[in-house]
Structure 1
Amino acid sequence: MSGQTISEDLRRKVHTIVADVLEVDAGELVDSSSFSDDFDADSLMTIEIIARFERDLGITVPQDEMVDLDDLSTAYALAARYAKEPTSA
């Protein structure tokens, strides 16, 4: 995904949420991990990840973008795109 930057704090929070929802140790979850192939995640887990983004991070992700969520890189990109983080001026 192009040009989206994500803070280390937000990256850590996204990683923690995804590991928690997938019920895996955070160390097992790497950027190249496929949620479905490597951790048997189903669509309900994807919905739970998005729900946790909304509840814990205040990030609303449009439903049509949820289908792309299968790895940390996409999770980071979605979080960066929709986060309400202050931008440095």
Structure 2
Amino acid sequence: MSDLTPALRTQVRQIVADVLEVPADEIAEDKSLEDLGADSLMVIEIVSRFERRLGIRIAQEEMTELVDLRTAYDLVARHLPSSEAAGV
């Protein structure tokens, strides 16, 4: 489980929702992005928005890890400085 602040979790969920064009509250943490209609190009766009909006860099190989909201939180948390992820 990632150590993201509630505000960062909300931001990550909103980015995913924007790309998938679904309401953020319809994205359950364990529901696969594929079940929500995501294809590989959408996953690339999600990662790209994480990078732009959160100021992080995610290796292309890591994109395959992005399968649901939980893995999105973990991926973002791994690339943010720990103090920022924890809201310190």
TM-score range, shorter chain: 0.7 to 0.9
Number of corresponding residues: 85
Taking only the aligned residue pairs, the percentage that are identical comes to 52
1:32 has 2:44 as partner: no
Runs of 4+ residues deviating >4 angstroms: none
Q: Distance in 1 between matches of 2:30 and 2:85?
A: 28
Task: Decide whether aligned partners of structure 1 residues 5 and 20 sit closer, same or farther in structure 2, where only a CA change above 3 A counts.
Answer: same
Structure 2: gaps of 5 or more residues: none
1:62 has 2:59 as partner: yes
Q: Distance in 1 between matches of 2:39 and 2:30?
A: 17
Partner of 2:50: 53
CA-based RMSD: 1.5
- The one-letter amino acid paired with 2:24 is A
The Cα offsets for residues 10-68 of structure 1, whole Å up to 9 and x where unpaired, read as: 111000000110100111101011001x2121100000000000111112111111011
RCO higher in structure (CA 8 A, sep ≥6): 2
TM-score calculated relative to the size of structure 2: 0.88
- The one-letter amino acid paired with 1:48 is E
